[in-house]
Homo-oligomer: A and B are copies of this chain.
């Protein structure tokens, strides 16, 4: 299924129209590797839809967020941006609570935890984010030296 079909499916369910502005904004967010800020979305989407106004960006983001198409996400530098929730990759990282460094890791062994939650809650789970917090090796070393 094409990206634009995902958009169309969700919009039409809610009696919403598939417009040029919405297509441009959706393509912008869905094709980005990182969460995008509102000005970034505006700039990139305007290339596909030159008449696009900032007001429409705000309104479209609200619509898409409600429709579950996008999601507000914290980037590694602490600021917020939008990502596609349909195509969003899973996120697994560990962050140092002292120096704030972020390290990604490959996440294994979650199957049992997830299955247990599915049984307990009745949800059918599609994806997960796991954020770990701790102290990185170099901060650990420094704190021992004091």
Query: Chain copies in the assembly?
Result: 2
Interface 9-residue window, one of A25-33, A51-59, A115-123 = A115-123
Residue in B closest to A92 when the chains form the complex, CB atoms: B117
Judge whether A123 and B94 touch: CB under 8 Å.
yes
Within 8 Å CB of A129, what residues of B?
129-131, 133
Given contacts A68-B97, A130-B129, contact A80 B78 (CB under 8 A): no
Within 8 Å CB of A96, what residues of B?
123
Whether A135 sits at the interface, judged by CB under 8 Å, is yes
Judge whether B123 and A132 touch: CB under 8 Å.
yes
Q: What 1/0 mask marks residues of chain A from 105 to 117 whose CB sits below 8 Å from any chain B CB?
A: 1111110111011
Judge whether A136 and B122 touch: CB under 8 Å.
yes
Whether A125 sits at the interface, judged by CB under 8 Å, is yes
Within 8 Å CB of A110, what residues of B?
113
Smallest Cβ distance from A19 to chain B, in angstroms?
23
Judge whether B98 and A109 touch: CB under 8 Å.
no
Smallest Cβ distance from A98 to chain B, in angstroms?
6
Within 8 Å CB of A85, what residues of B?
97, 133
What are 7 contact pairs spanning A and B, CB under 8 A? A65-B78, A72-B78, A74-B74, A107-B113, A108-B116, A114-B132, A123-B137
Residues of A within 8 A of B (CB): 65, 68, 72, 74, 78, 80, 85, 94, 96-98, 100, 103, 105-110, 112-114, 116-118, 120-137, 140
